[in-house]
Structure 1
């Protein structure tokens, strides 16, 4: 290995350049700029203004934030849905006014006033919701009109009731406690806002209403086509906005105990500035509680800081307007260029060196080329697409998945009749039968599923434990691709990569980074955990006959390994084959005690050399169209037989790929070898001359049927 190779290997191993792309792909990266601005603002104002960060100042600030934060959160909810609510300030003002009238003038009980105020906020929001959501009027103009109407009501009532309101006195300890009280030194209003913010965070990030709201804001037509009631979601967003603004006004009235003709004037500009500054998209579909909080803190700090510095109100408003304009500009530019930047840095090839490929053109080679697979019989030609894996039951019925999300069953023994055994969705990949005859299926992008003999479909798992060091959320299963079952019922399955989806397998091949894994699901506990991390495109799992270990394939390293999950060697891992001539896929048992292995493509010297040149592959990913990248040769199908020592015992080829250009799986059953391919539209059946004509894998695993 020369110096350049050494440097490339060390840089690839110890410089985690792929982390940059993974960070840019996270949703919370939108908060980085406003959060940095928030920290700088605190540092600057804290050093310039004496006592700005004192306990009394922070207590007063938290009460202001409780009210302002609710208004910003209200506006954020509407903006996530794809709308805008310019009437938030007017609803806030009405809530302040009627709270003071109810408490000071009419001496209503505080709970009754709160209920009335929240009801008023709901009605105001419902008015906007009906006009925008159901009558489909433009949100900007509609809420601008409602702003004027609500403000006019405020001014009319204020002129009539101002004297009585100011001369009245609220003789209520509860009212005083809401405005001035605290719990363990924390203002009550601040606690209320935090509770509401936490609840909304759960709704937006963990519950269906939040997901639907985001979907509506991102693409209303697509959301409608997906079955979401778009009008109802928009209506509810405005109702929530009005309710939270009313609550904010109630808290404001309790704190100050008075109102003026200018109460709430300009608040909508401040709230909009905070929402946009925090990272909430003006066009909808992007926003969070964290963004609303960051934006609220930033705007409130700027406003209070400018006031403490003696800057007049008009100048403060001008500065906030300039900040809003800058925030809109940055938001638009960031959204425009983020994906372009991400596309340039996300693909991060690793250094990978392979042993020399074995000879396939020498007659004495165990991989000697032949055309034996051209003799296969064809099953289901044109009736299926993408049978990545095939499997047979005790009754000689043949099962395979299709790219349309179906599991198709061909009835034995001739396999001419077929039916859709189950519709799951996604693309069914690896399959295995458990002891009870349930069909276990790996679904790309969806996880591990079970299909019972009565065709009932059950999701077993779609996530595993998340690793502490992973930037990418590796708890979600992206590309589960093959599965097998241990004698004790534990299910082991491979996941090719945590960085890419199934359609991006070629990008993962270009990277050849150790981002795959073997995962274990235990039906007895319902728990899923990662058994073997950091594999290079884990692809293929087969239980060994000792009941304590299994074989697994790593496609891009062209290798087969063995892992002991039980027994005295538990946790041990060893390489069985390290120099395959192609890229291994599914592994399955043979009737003679050995194993069959599918090679989905053949190695080539150009790609082998490129694997030692991560910089070259990175430049190729940036400058060359994906359809012109260096790819594995997937035009030649091959199946090999090997034993547990790693010795190659036989090889079957289809040169030129006339019948099976990309073999991804094979199953031996009663003297025949059945072939599947993820890019094929057929299943092949090849007669094995020396195989046991009565051997059935399901019986070999679990014994004869009772």
Structure 2
């Protein structure tokens, strides 16, 4: 429901309704000759609507499309009928003229920053005046001349497999533009510029060039439409193209292309063009005169604009009620945390932890230390902060990335690898250079939703051969919507692997329920990963004789596991970001109840995990809990999402905290450094 092609439902239904009504009223509506003639008109008018749609997607408007179309018709006929140019030369000249007209608009609007509406209104008048001047001088010669070019006639009147040649040409171009807009970077950048121009500029997109090229392509497509029109009719008149801009704008908006920019597609342009052509032709066949037809088109445009604006305003609210789809999930009985002999027995061992950076940081979801005892953490402001060792009193902004840094790991060369919520996997070199490694993976073969973009990459670890395994919690929601994903508890997370040797990214383990912590096992052939909402930690073998095997390890934790990291004694630490509650456990078995809650209750009143109690557990490779550390009541260090052992201390991070905790581990190795457990001592 969040995909933009869902907007096509309304114009598609409207198209079916118009076809049904007009087909019952207009004689010979379904005749082969009528459909063939409609196909040729769709080829010409559809290209104009597509041209206008491309500009509208970029956030602009082009009222000069009709004038460029008219000039193209005239130049085509002058070249072919009057001067006997070869058809390829005439076509090249027409396309060059259209590109030049578009370049004028693009330069004035894209580079000189003039208002698109007023600018294209002026160029509409100028281009139309040029048409009128040339038409008066060349009309007699055009009418007297006659082209004997079979190719020109074939383009205008020919059929291939029963389909008009012009329709095949326009269809090929439409398919190409669909690929550009939906699958290629130029199309994504065009949409980004139209959706939020300043944000696109901040993201490094060349906004001015993007806008300029949108108008150039608009001119080229309009000129091609004019060439096809000239080939079909072989003549022109003083009223050629008059009012075409209104019809094209009506078609674009009626098809679903947003006037505000950032939303549109080839399918929308085609459906809008068909709607307007069928409606206009039917009114003419029924004897409705021109002024009434224009009035009807104006009313349709007004209604379409009203619906478009109302849909944009209420889209999120409507989709939120339909999109949330809770799954049925049964958790094992809540383990006992009150019994003294329970491995999860409550205690206050974390209540007296030492505090680092209180009030200096916000949202240190993960923490990590280098070989020099420097402590790193991310903040919700988009920074990575470094606290200098050994006392961690002084700090600096080590790198500014722009998104919230989540999981972190050091590679063999000392680069800091970071998962950024909503951005992907990044690298920060020791000299503070930030590099994007990947922000997409392969698209699932049978997925309706394009799941190639990374929404919530949240933790990572590195295999001995340099491959980077990282978890993406969900493909359905952004970081700030984690509670909605918890409400759904659907298997929409995954584990992804990035290979720096080839630069390739692919999904390794799909369909996980909020995939979270990642930690390489000591054998170097498997890893541990957490699924938060199922309260489980599992082991996955990516190499060796058991490659591809997944083994559940801890299946009934008292809370929701987050980051996992190595311990100095060969075991592993895991953070529990929140505690299970009987109410939420019960609600997970009632998807209908959770769906109604999402629709009728404000999010701040939903049933939430208990995130006010911090807990860290240690486990071994047999799935045994060795000890648990609590701050019962969350008085000192409440929510805990990560922990790192370093030289006898356990450093604690929390995505909702404003501090880092440091806990002295009794009996721990005071010389153990996590980075050396991966890559060995520094040479």
- TM-score, length-normalised on structure 2? 0.89
Residue 488 to residue 305, structure 1, CA distance change in 2 (3 Å) = same
Paired with 1:170 and 1:228, the residues of 2 have a C-alpha distance of: 47
Q: Is the 8 A contact 1:125 1:240 kept in 2?
A: yes
CA drift of 1:679 comes to 2.0
Q: How does 1:291-310 map to 2 (within 5 A)?
A: 291-305=268-282
Structure 2 partner of 1:339: 316
Per-residue deviation, 1:25: 0.8
1:170 and 2:152 are equivalent in the alignment:
no
Distance, in Å, in 1 between the alignment partners of 2:332 and 2:616 is 20
> What residue is the counterpart of 1:275 in the other structure?
252
Shift of 1:320: 4.2
* Residue 608 of structure 2 is aligned to residue 593 of structure 1: no
Aligned position for 1:461: 438
Of 682, 690, 696 in structure 1, the residue corresponding to residue 673 of structure 2 is: 696
Partner-residue secondary structure (3-state), 2:56: helix
Query: SS state of the match for residue 263, structure 1?
Result: coil
Work out the CA distance in 2 between the residues paired with 1:440 and 1:135: 41
1:669 counterpart (646, 671, 677): 646
Aligned position for 1:618: 595
Q: What's the C-alpha RMSD, in Å, of the aligned pairs?
A: 3.3
Please, which of 526, 529, 534 is the counterpart of residue 552 of structure 1?
529
Residue of structure 1 equivalent to 2:579: 602
Q: Report the CA distance shift for 1:542/1:129 in structure 2 as closer, same or farther (over 3 A).
A: closer
1:287-366 aligned within 5 A: 287-305=264-282, 317=294, 319-366=296-343
Counterpart position of 2:409: 432
Q: Distance in 1 between matches of 2:227 and 2:517?
A: 62
Cα distance in 1 for residues equivalent to 2:105 and 2:501: 52
Residue of structure 1 equivalent to 2:234 = 257
Partners of 1:383 and 1:404 in 2: how far apart? 12
Secondary structure of the structure 2 residue equivalent to 1:556:
coil
> Secondary structure of the equivalent of 1:657?
coil
The 10-residue stretch of structure 1 (299-308 or 44-53) with the greater mean CA deviation from structure 2: 44-53
What is the CA distance between 1:325 and its match in structure 2? 4.3
Determine which of 647, 655, 659 is the counterpart of 1:678: 655
Give the count of matched residue pairs: 683
Distance 1:347 1:38 in 2: 30
- Cα displacement (A) at 1:343: 1.7
Secondary structure of the corresponding residue to residue 633 of structure 2: helix
Deviates more, 1:130-139 or 1:95-104: 130-139
Q: Does 1:373 align with 2:350?
A: yes
Structure 2 distance, partners of 1:659, 1:602, is 16
Partners of 2:197 and 2:410 in 1: how far apart? 42
Secondary structure class of the residue paired with 1:251: helix
With structure 1 as the length reference, what TM-score do the two structures score? 0.87
Q: Deviations over 1:276-322 (max 9, x none)?
A: 22111233332222211222233334444555667665665555445
Contact 2:613/2:632 (8 A) holds in 1:
yes
Tell me the equivalent position of 1:634: 611
**1:607-661 deviation line (CA, Å, top 9, x unaligned):** 2222223233223222222222222222222112122232222122223323311
Aligned-partner Cα distance in 2 for 1:376–1:497: 33
Deviates more, 1:250-259 or 1:390-399: 390-399
Structure 1 residue 90 corresponds to structure 2 residue 67: yes
1:437 & 1:128 partners in 2: Cα distance? Answer: 50
1:269 match: secondary structure: helix
State which of 486, 510, 519 in structure 2 corresponds to 1:509: 486
Deviation at 1:122, TM superposition (A): 4.4
Match of 2:263 in 1: 286
Residue 492 of structure 1: which of 449, 460, 469 is its match? Answer: 469
Partner SS state of residue 561, structure 1 = strand
Which aligned pairs between 1:468-479 and structure 2 lie closer than 5 A? 468-479=445-456
Offset, 1:602 = 1.9
Q: CA offset at residue 166 of structure 1?
A: 1.0
Closer/same/farther in 2, CA of residues 208 and 555 from structure 1, 3 Å limit: closer
The one of 421, 431, 435 aligned to 2:398: 421
Q: Give 5+ residue unaligned stretches, structure 2.
A: none
Does the 8 A contact of 2:410 with 2:416 survive in 1? yes
Show CA shifts across 1:576-633 (max 9, x none): 2222222211112222222211111222222222222323322322222222222222
Q: Contact conserved, 1:472 with 1:498, CA < 8 A, in 2?
A: no
User: In the alignment, which residue of structure 2 is the partner of 1:72?
Assistant: 49
Whole-angstrom distance in 2 between the partners of 1:490 and 1:99:
58
Task: Determine the C-alpha separation between the residues in 2 that align with 1:166 and 1:211.
Answer: 45
Cα deviation 1:91-114 (Å, max 9, x = unaligned): 322322233234333445555544
Q: Distance in 2 between matches of 1:634 and 1:29?
A: 36
Shift in Å, 1:28: 0.8
Alpha-carbon separation, structure 1, partners of 2:388 and 2:502: 35
1:647 counterpart residue number: 624
Please, which moves more after superposition, 249-258 or 178-187? 178-187
- Contact 2:4 2:263 (8 Å CA) reproduced: no
Partner residue, 1:384: 361
**Cα distance change on mapping 1:434 and 1:82 into 2, 3 Å:** closer
Contact 2:382 2:403 in 1 (8 A): yes
Q: Conserved in 2, the CA contact under 8 Å of 1:349 and 1:615?
A: yes
Aligned to 1:396: 373
Q: Which moved more, 1:55-64 or 1:620-629?
A: 55-64
Distance in 1 (alpha carbons) for counterparts of 2:595 and 2:167: 50
CA distance in 2 between counterparts of 1:466 and 1:38 reads: 31
Asked if structure 2 preserves the Cα contact closer than 8 Å seen for 1:642 and 1:649, the reply is yes
Q: Deviations over 1:192-212 (max 9, x none)?
A: 434443454455445565445
Indicate how the Cα distance of structure 1 residues 347 and 193 shifts in structure 2: closer, same or farther if over 3 A, else same: same
C-alpha separation in 2, matches of 1:267 and 1:241: 14
Secondary structure class of the residue paired with 2:533: helix
Which of 518, 526, 529 is 2:503 aligned to?
Answer: 526
What residue is the counterpart of 2:637 in the other structure? 660
Residue 464 of structure 1 and its aligned partner are, at CA, apart by 2.1
- C-alpha distance in 1, partners of 2:512/2:291? 61
Deviation at 1:47, TM superposition (A): 8.0
Aligned to 1:448: 425
Q: Is the 8 A contact 1:74 1:242 kept in 2?
A: yes
CA contact (8 A) 1:278 1:292 kept: yes
Is the partner of 1:494 in helix, strand or coil?
Answer: strand
Corresponding residue for residue 480 of structure 1? 457
1:469–1:193 CA distance, 2 compared to 1 (3 A):
closer
- Contact 1:561–1:575 (8 Å) recurs in 2: yes
1:594/1:285 CA distance change after superposition, 3 Å: closer
Asked if the contact 2:472/2:514 (under 8 Å) is kept, the reply is yes
Corresponding residue for residue 19 of structure 1? none
Deviation (angstroms), 1:526: 3.2
Mapped to 2, the partners of 1:129 and 1:71 lie a distance apart of 17
Cα shift at 1:27: 0.7
Corresponding position: 1:408 with 2:367: no
- Out of 27, 39, 52, the position equivalent to 2:4 is 27
**Alignment CA distance shift 1:392-1:81 (3 Å):** closer
